[in-house]
Amino acid sequence: MKLATAALLAAVIAVAAPAARAEISPDPAKLEGGQFAVDKTHAKIIASFSHFGLSTSYIQFTDFDAKLSIDAKAPAKSAVEVSLNMDGIHANVPKFEAHLKSADFFDVAAFPTASFKSTAVEVTGPNTGKISGNLTVHGVTRPVVLDATFNAGGVHPMNQKYTVGFSAKGQIKRSEFGVGRYVPNVGDDVTLTISAEFVRQ
C-alpha cells in the first residue's frame, strides 16, 4: 500500500513539475537562434538632439514593426529589419508633433514610412556588436552604424515564449536626409537610442 501511494505521489509530482526551460540569462553563450518579431509593448525608438544648446529635445517613434534573425552559432550572419510609420511621431506636445510631420521636417504626407535594413553585423565583444545598415528617411537612404548590446535571453515568465532583449545607439546627421531645417540652432546631430524585446516565432 505504501509503495502504491509513493508511486502515485511520484507520478503526480512528475506531471505537475514544469519541463526545464531556458531561464532569462545575460550570458551570450546561452543565446538561442531563430526568427523573431518585436514585442511592441516593450520596445522604444527615441531620437534626441540639441535645442539651441539650451536643452536636449526628445522624440519617440511609437508605431513600428521589426524582424530579427539570429544565428546563434554565427552571430555575424544575423540580420534585422525595421519599418516605421512616421505618423507615429510622439513628442508630448501636439503642436510640435504637427510641425515635425509637416513639410518643414519629415513631410509625412509625402514620405509616410521610414526603414532600416541591416547589411552586416560585426561582433565586437562577448555581448556587443556593430550593426551596419541602410536607413531610409524622408525618401533618402544613407548608411548607418548602430552599436548594439545583447541584454539577455530566455523563456519569458509571463508569456512562456523564448524572448531576447537588445539595446542600440547610433548617430546621424538629419541634414543628410533632407531634414535640416533650423540647423545649427536646432542640432544637426541626432542620437538614436533603441531598446527592444523580440519574441521567437
Q: Mean pLDDT, the chain, as a whole number? A: 92
pLDDT in tens, 86-124: 999 999 999 999 999 999 999 999 999 999 999 999 999
pLDDT exceeds cutoff 90 at 186: yes
> 25 Cβ partners below 8 Å, 6+ apart?
152, 153, 154
Report the predicted TM-score, pTM, of the whole model to 2 decimal places: 0.87
Four-residue CA torsion sign, 185, 143, 67, 130:
negative
pLDDT exceeds cutoff 90 at 34: yes
d(CA 86, CA 190): 16
Least confident residue range of 7-21, 35-49, 175-189: 7-21
Question: Which residue bears the cell 519574441?
Answer: 199
pLDDT reported for residue 21: 66
d(CA 137, CA 141): 7
pLDDT exceeds cutoff 60 at 11: no
Is 173 within 8 Å of 189 (Cβ atoms)? yes
Per-residue pLDDT averaged across 126-152, rounded? 98
Per-residue pLDDT averaged across 148-160, rounded? 97
In the chain, the percentage of residues whose pLDDT exceeds 70 is 90
pLDDT exceeds cutoff 60 at 84: yes
CATH of the domain at 124: 2.40.128.110
pLDDT reported for residue 94: 96
Per-residue pLDDT averaged across 14-39, rounded? 80
Per-residue pLDDT averaged across 181-198, rounded? 97
pLDDT exceeds cutoff 80 at 20: no
Per-residue pLDDT averaged across 22-35, rounded? 95
Q: Which domain holds residue 76?
A: 2-200
The number of distinct structural domains making up the chain is 1
Per-residue pLDDT averaged across 191-197, rounded? 98
pLDDT exceeds cutoff 50 at 199: yes
| Residues making up the chain, counted from first to last | 201
pLDDT reported for residue 7: 42
